[in-house]
């Protein structure tokens, strides 16, 4: 049994990791930590996890490391930076769910307004999108687990950018997300009464996930790709629906597009290409699937992508990465 620890176990992503790992056949959960006034049984903090009776207390890195092989960091951006480095030094594998190891230092510093204290680790870090980087993930010691929007968008676009089929400057990404994506924190903007009857755009073309999306699309396309990206906050708990518009630079039929996607994801158990209908978030929430649908409209193509932001967009993908790193079945614990 692989011994795993979760640092930041009380956030929405941390709890989702607890849920998945506690029913994973190859894993023993050895430690849960979080910032708490006093240590508490996890199933007292969260009574739905009836059988998880580990004590959750504040992080002591040495102690956690003594009894684990692999650690998940479900921490706010910039908090992981140092903690990841210390677990690595102690010989532990690290899957970091924050943005701290996803971007080159100078881009990270620009978007996250923080000095990157461990640029030397960036070359070790593997961007943990298994559909693109499975071979590298197998060898990785440090995984930079992708953001939720980037997962939603990159999976929707990878087949087209890989083929160089996207017309310059034609790309528009309009995403809608549930509230859990903002994290479990006291914030007036996340107050039930502020959110419940509202639809709004936010951080229009200034969201911190933009450089991550642009980085991966640019790699796929072998040229610099800029995006227009509008995230919207929707009164649901979970789920991201991305509606993506673009023009193609060659003629292609709806059927060829479908086959292109089917082929591209033929080895990807968690990407489902829909025929004749389009994705909706209720078909993917609580699952690790990304469902993709495409529709040709005049000279444009609309790609719609649905994921659960906490599963395929965070904890589920992290476990998928762990499965690949550790030689388990890729889908173990995730079906």
- 242: β partners: 175, 305
Residue 30 in contact with residue 50, Cβ under 8 Å?
A: no
- If residue 175 lies in a helix (H) or strand (E), which one and from where to where? strand 172-177
Residue 295 in contact with residue 302, Cβ under 8 Å?
A: yes
Spatial separation of the C-alpha atoms in residues 133 and 125, rounded to whole Å: 12
- Give the contacts of 210 (CB within 8 A, at least 6 positions apart): 111, 227, 229
39 or 135: CB nearest a second copy: 39
The crossing angle, in degrees rounded to 10, of helices 210-221 and 148-162 is 20
148 counts as catalytic = yes
CB of 230 to a second copy, least distance (A): 6
- Of 65-94, binders to a second copy (CB under 8 A) are none
66 or 205: CB nearest a second copy: 205
127 or 265: CB nearest a second copy: 265
CB of 240 to a second copy, least distance (A): 8
Spatial separation of the C-alpha atoms in residues 305 and 286, rounded to whole Å: 15
Q: Does 196 bind a second copy (CB under 8 A)?
A: yes
- Of 85-144, binders to a second copy (CB under 8 A) are none
| Stretch of residues binding a second copy (CB under 8 A), selected from 75-83, 97-105, 296-304, 319-327 | 296-304
Spatial separation of the C-alpha atoms in residues 106 and 86, rounded to whole Å: 22
Residue 6 in contact with residue 32, Cβ under 8 Å?
A: yes
- Of 265-284, binders to a second copy (CB under 8 A) are 272, 274, 277-284
123 or 297: CB nearest a second copy: 297
Q: How many residues at the interface with a second copy, by CB under 8 A?
A: 71
CB of 62 to a second copy, least distance (A): 30
Each residue 207-246 as x (binds a second copy by CB under 8 A) or -, in order, gives -------------------x-x-x-x-xxxxxx-x-x-x-
User: Of 264, 270, 263, which is closest to residue 329 (Cα–Cα)?
Assistant: 270
88 or 304: CB nearest a second copy: 304
Both tokens assigned to 144: 């930079």
CB of 305 to a second copy, least distance (A): 11
Burial class (CB in 10 A: 0-12, 13-18, 19+), 105: middle
From 15, 68, 148, 290, the catalytic residue: 148
Q: Which of 286, 326, 330, 332 binds a second copy (CB under 8 A)?
A: 286
CB of 247 to a second copy, least distance (A): 8
Q: Which residues are catalytic?
A: 148
């Amino acid at each position: 049994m692989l011994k795993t620890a979760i640092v930041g176990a009380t956030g929405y992503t941390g709890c989702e990791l607890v849920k998945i790992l506690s029913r994973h056949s190859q894993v023993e959960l050895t430690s849960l930590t979080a910032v708490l006034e006093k240590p508490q049984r996890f199933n007292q903090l969260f009574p739905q996890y009836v059988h998880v009776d580990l004590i959750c207390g504040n992080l002591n890195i040495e102690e956690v490391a003594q009894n684990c092989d692999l650690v998940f960091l479900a921490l706010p951006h910039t908090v992981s930076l140092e903690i990841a480095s210390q677990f690595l030094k102690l010989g532990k594998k690290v899957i970091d769910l924050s943005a701290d190891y996803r971007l080159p230092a100078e881009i990270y510093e620009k978007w996250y307004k923080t000095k990157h204290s461990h640029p030397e680790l960036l070359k070790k870090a593997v961007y943990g999108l298994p559909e693109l980087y499975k071979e590298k993930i197998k060898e990785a010691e440090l995984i930079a687990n992708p953001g939720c929007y980037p997962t939603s968008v990159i999976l929707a676009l990878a087949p087209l950018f890989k083929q160089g089929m996207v017309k310059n400057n034609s790309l528009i990404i309009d995403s809608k997300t549930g509230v859990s994506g903002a994290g479990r924190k006291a914030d007036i903007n996340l107050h039930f009464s502020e959110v419940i009857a509202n639809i709004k755009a936010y951080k229009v073309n200034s969201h911190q996930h933009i450089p991550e999306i642009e980085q991966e699309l640019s790699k796929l396309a072998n040229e610099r790709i800029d995006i227009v990206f509008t995230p919207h906050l929707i009164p649901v708990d979970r789920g991201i629906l991305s509606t993506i518009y673009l023009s193609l630079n060659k003629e292609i039929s709806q059927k060829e597009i479908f086959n292109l996607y089917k082929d591209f994801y033929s080895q990807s158990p968690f990407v489902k290409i829909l025929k004749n209908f389009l994705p909706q978030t209720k078909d993917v929430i609580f699952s690790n699937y990304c469902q993709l649908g495409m529709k040709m409209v005049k000279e444009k193509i609309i790609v719609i992508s649905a994921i659960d932001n906490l599963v395929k967009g965070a904890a589920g993908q992290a476990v998928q990465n762990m499965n690949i790193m550790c030689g388990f079945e890729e889908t173990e614990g995730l079906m």
